[in-house]
Amino acid sequence: MHDFLEGVVPLILRVTLLHMHTQRLMTVTQFNAELKSFQYGKYDKDALPCALRTDHLSGKATFPGKASEKFCLFRVLPFLAGRYISKDNRHWRLYLQCREIGDIILAPVIGRSVLSYLKMCIETCLYDFCELYPDHMTPKMHYLLHYADVIALFGPPRALWCMRFEAKHQHFKRLAGVMNNFRNICLSLAVRHQLHQCWQFSSVDILKQDVRCKGSTSIPFSVVPGCFRELICQYTCLSADALLTVERVTEVEVDNITYAVGDIFVLALLHEESVPLFFKVTLILNLDRWILCGRLLISDYYDSHLHAFHISEGENWISVAGSMIDHHPLDEYVDQDGERYVVLRYSIMRS
């Protein structure tokens, strides 16, 4: 979090946008206009990037935003500025190299065979950065050189990062702002925290093992679209006569994993190239177990300039019971030409 999301990422964003601004490819005003009009996905709306000023690019002011907001801008930048810059631009290639590094080090599963490739990517990225921006190198950029060795010893950095600790600190920051205690703030925060922990531990469902759902309605099975009825009967080994009514929900949380209508998940990895096969949830039904019905989204190709997968809807409707290779919901984005893309938050590798 501190090395990459708050060190490397804002530096790469700053020098990339500064190059575009000085070369009149895209001014700060144009960038802010794109930032304001851009249609963010459902899960990226929680960390909207901040508008920029010229002094943010020159280095006179700190690049704005929290770590999550910088990470959001880092991922959606190709949809904001990609059409303003050519594919063979060296400065843009440096940004894409950093994206590839981020995809690997933020992955929850990292194979040992990938570490040599990661080390090569980092060395290439730093070499190109020194050539393009010799006066902008920082210690946090240098720290990347040790990531492959650290991952080999301790595993994926995602299991060790400070993001969860920062989330825990938010509780104390909010309390400190509302208590207005100027005599012994440490004692007050400690007492309030202990009381909060006691309240949490007294819950019979502290680990949230119960199923939680939203938008629950009971509907006749005959109302379920025909494309799903046959799938559900095959999946549950029940006849249509035995299924008189079913429960339909818009969102369900099972084993601390949330599934909602409209979410996109990676269902599987295809071929040796590990091409992701996406699944878009259309219907969530309760049939003694939760069934997700939807359509497959086929990865037509990988657009390196946008660092995203171009998708198209498959012909087949399928039903699954949460058996995805990755349970982090993704957002779908549409470019100026109406083409549909899915941006991964990290590389998904076979364990």
**Average pLDDT for the chain:** 86
pLDDT of residue 177: 85
Residue 237 — left, alpha, or beta (φ > 0 → left; ψ -120 to 50 → alpha)? left
Domain boundaries, the chain: 4-159, 163-201, 212-342
Domain at 212-342: CATH code = 2.30.30
Paired strand residues for 275 = 270
Q: What value does the mean pLDDT take over residues 99-109?
A: 93
Percentage of the chain with pLDDT > 70?
Answer: 93
Mean pLDDT within 98-102: 94
Closest among 80, 106, 148 to 328, alpha carbons compared: 106
For residue 20, name the pLDDT band (cuts at 50, 70, 90): very high
pLDDT above 90 (res 231): no
Cα–Cα distance list, 319 to 3, 72, 261, 295, 337 (Å): 41, 31, 13, 8, 31
Whether the CB-CB separation of 304 and 249 falls below 8 Å is answered with no
**Has residue 46 got a pLDDT over 70?**
yes
- Nearby residues of 95 by Cβ (< 8 Å), 6 or more positions away: 12, 13, 16, 77
Strand, helix or coil for residue 47: helix
User: Which pLDDT band, with edges at 50, 70 and 90, does 264 fall under?
Assistant: very high
- Which pLDDT belongs to residue 254? 82
pLDDT tens-digit map of 68-98: 899 999 999 999 998 999 989 999 999 999 9
What backbone torsions phi and psi does residue 241 show, to the nearest 5 degrees? -70, -30
pLDDT of residue 1: 85
Compute the average pLDDT of residues 189-217: 81
Name the residue type at position 77.
L
Whole-angstrom CA distances from 237 to 232, 243, 281, 294, 299 are: 8, 11, 22, 19, 31
pLDDT band at 135 (very low <50, low <70, confident <90, very high): confident
DSSP string covering 306-349: TTEEEEEEEEEEEEESS--SEEEEE-EEE-TT--EEE--SS---
Q: How confident is the model at residue 154 (pLDDT cuts 50, 70, 90)?
A: very high
